[in-house]
């Protein structure tokens, strides 16, 4: 193989890597609308803390009163975040990449806010859970709040 062919192949590979990196960058989470990215982060934190409580309830994680109280308090705080900067009109599914928010979030804002209030109350009930059985007993209410909100206000996966 001559030197010209090697340079052509190397340049072609470099161009392919650059094009792939550019495409991946343009489709990364950081390129989401900032409000959508922020509420995805909120939901990830909610899921993380529910995961801790669920693991305790299932016996997959040893009961630790401080850990349970912390996870429940985190959920309560996440539910009480002021959504004005997260749930911005015009960022619903179909209008903004990565969003699964239904338009009902804005047309029924009182109902949507009530779902977060329900999450805060279910979380607060777990703060003093005495043991893993008490955590398990509270998980039904906690999971129910998530389900009710998702059924009403979250659209299908794209």
pLDDT tens digits, 81-136: 999 999 999 999 999 999 999 999 999 999 999 999 999 999 999 999 999 999 99
Within the chain, strands assigned E span: none
Residue 16 C-alpha from the chain's centroid:
33
The 10 Å Cβ neighbour count of residue 17 is: 10
Burial of 33 per CB tally in 10 Å (0-12, 13-18, 19+): middle
Spatial CB neighbours of 8, under 8 Å, sequence gap ≥ 6: none
pLDDT of residue 6: 53
Instruction: Tell me which architecture the domain covering 33-153 has in CATH.
Output: Up-down Bundle (1.20)
pTM: 0.79
CA-nearest of 60, 64, 44, 71 to 125 is 71
Report the alpha-carbon distance of residue 72 to residue 55 in Å, rounded.
13
């Amino acid at each position: 193989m001559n030197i010209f062919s090697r340079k052509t192949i190397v340049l072609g590979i470099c161009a392919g890597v650059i094009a792939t990196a550019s495409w991946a960058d343009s489709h990364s989470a950081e390129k989401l609308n900032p409000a959508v990215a922020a509420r995805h982060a909120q939901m990830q934190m909610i899921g993380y803390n529910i995961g801790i409580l669920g693991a305790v309830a299932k016996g997959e994680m040893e009961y630790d009163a401080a850990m349970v109280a912390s996870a429940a308090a985190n959920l309560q705080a996440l539910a009480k975040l002021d959504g004005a900067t997260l749930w911005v009109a015009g960022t619903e599914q179909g209008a903004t990449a990565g969003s699964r928010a239904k338009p009902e979030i804005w047309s029924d804002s009182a109902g949507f806010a009530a779902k977060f209030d329900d999450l805060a109350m279910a979380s607060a009930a777990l703060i003093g859970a005495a043991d893993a059985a008490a955590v398990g007993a509270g998980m039904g209410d906690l999971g129910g709040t998530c389900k009710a909100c998702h059924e009403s206000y979250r659209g299908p996966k794209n």
